[in-house]
Amino acid sequence: MPGDKTEKASFKKRKDERKKGRAFQSQDLTSAAVLLSIFAALKFLGPQVESAMENSVAGMLERIPDIISGPRDVGSFFSSAGGTAVKVLVPIFAASASVAVIVTLAQTRLLVTPANMTPKFERISPVQGFKKLFSLRSIVEMVKSLLKIVAILAIIFMDVYPKLPQVTLLFDTSIAGALGWIAQLAIDVGFKAGAVLLVIGVADYFYQWWDFERSIMMTKHETKEEYKQTEGNPQIKGRIRNLQRKLARMRMMQAVPKADVVIRNPTHFAVALKYDTKTGRAPFVVAKGADAIALRIVALAEKNGVYITENKPLAQALYKSVEIGGEIPAEFYKAVAGVLAYLYTMKRAGRS
């Protein structure tokens, strides 16, 4: 059908879409990368985090009896807890935020545009929201959500359930030992969950690419209209080319009376040559033509007293090998020199 989008998006279409802030990316891929960065930071900063948590918990337990002594001690208690939280969370937050920015910019190819910051009220339209409920994208999102839930629950079950009996043993260990065991278990589960989410994110990235390419496809009519806008209307361009050819032909005809000789064949080709003895350069073509144009060149040369000679192979060779304004090649020097020598002989004889 004429309105069907069957053509791939052009370069201009893609450029316009980027200006609007449209580019495909997978939020699931970004989320997975952020989750893995969080647990990687926890593992890398494990000793520092464990020490800070241990000191904080131990300090809290020691100071609990003093908390009830007055508001000053309560404020000091919360200030200490807040300081510990900052030491633990700021490096992790910085790492995850950096990864989120890097992954997002990598997916969108450094797309930063004010168009993404402009409110789009159609997103909150009830009608549009109802349509999206039954779209392919909503089905894909639902399937992804179910896959993520099932995968995470399966990982938690396989990792945590076999270790439940060990939980009761934590009461006989130190605070540091209990926190270390819990932290290691959480990091193991987090890495496995992040790896599964990363696989889903990669698959979603290719789906988002396919869906984006499908959404920006063009109809044949749009392709033709864009071509007219960028390259110009073919009919107008054709008329311009015809006008340019006519102007070039007029300039060429104006140069024929100034030529030294016209070599013809006898009606198919005609080449007008001029030789400037002051510069000493090789003869050059001032006009050439075939058929009707050749006859016009010959007629104009006769009218203005330009010498005309018939040389079928030379006329044909010059017509095919030399452009207007170009010097004749070296292989034609001898033949053209003979013509010019005869012409100069005739002129001297006429003057005498």
| CATH number assigned to the domain comprising residue 273 | 3.40.1690.10
pLDDT of residue 343: 85
Judge whether 225 lies within some domain: no
Of 215, 239, 265, the residue at which a domain comes to its end is 215
Residues 188 and 115 in one domain: yes
Judge whether 98 lies within some domain: yes
Residues 194 and 257 in one domain: no
What is the C-alpha to C-alpha distance for residues 60 and 152, in angstroms, rounded to an integer? 34
Residues 180 and 324 in one domain: no
Enter the tokens of residue 104.
């997002």
Q: What mean pLDDT is predicted for residues 43-71?
A: 62
Judge whether 204 lies within some domain: yes
Judge whether 6 lies within some domain: no
What is the C-alpha to C-alpha distance for residues 50 and 319, in angstroms, rounded to an integer? 90
Judge whether 18 lies within some domain: no
Residues 253 and 211 in one domain: no
Tell whether the model's pLDDT for residue 127 goes beyond 60.
no
**pLDDT tens-digit profile of 276-323?**
877 767 888 999 988 889 999 999 999 998 999 998 889 999 999 988
pLDDT of residue 345: 83
Of 192, 215, 238, the residue at which a domain comes to its end is 215
Which amino acid, one-letter code, is at 11?
F
Residues 171 and 27 in one domain: yes
What is the C-alpha to C-alpha distance for residues 45 and 226, in angstroms, rounded to an integer? 55
Q: How many domains does the chain have?
A: 2
Q: What mean pLDDT is predicted for residues 185-197?
A: 87
Judge whether 136 lies within some domain: yes
**pLDDT tens-digit profile of 113-126?**
655 555 555 555 55
Residues 139 and 67 in one domain: yes
Enter the tokens of residue 185.
């278990």
Residues 206 and 149 in one domain: yes
Mean pLDDT lowest among 24-38, 119-133, 266-280: 119-133
Of 164, 192, 215, the residue at which a domain comes to its end is 215
Q: Which residue has the higher pLDDT, 37 or 123?
A: 37
Q: What mean pLDDT is predicted for residues 91-114?
A: 83
pTM for the structure as a whole: 0.53
Residues 195 and 313 in one domain: no
Judge whether 228 lies within some domain: no
Confidence of residue 178 (pLDDT cuts 50, 70, 90): confident
Residues 170 and 312 in one domain: no
Residues 257 and 111 in one domain: no
Q: Is residue 45 helix, strand or coil?
A: coil
Confidence of residue 50 (pLDDT cuts 50, 70, 90): low
What is the C-alpha to C-alpha distance for residues 35 and 182, in angstroms, rounded to an integer? 18
Mean pLDDT lowest among 88-97, 107-116, 147-156: 107-116
Judge whether 78 lies within some domain: yes
**pLDDT tens-digit profile of 280-289?**
678 889 999 8
Q: Are 31 and 205 in contact (CB under 8 A)?
A: no
Residues 204 and 306 in one domain: no
Residues 263 and 190 in one domain: no
**Boundaries of domain holding 162:** 23-215
CA distances from 301 to 246, 270, 324, 332 (A): 19, 10, 17, 22
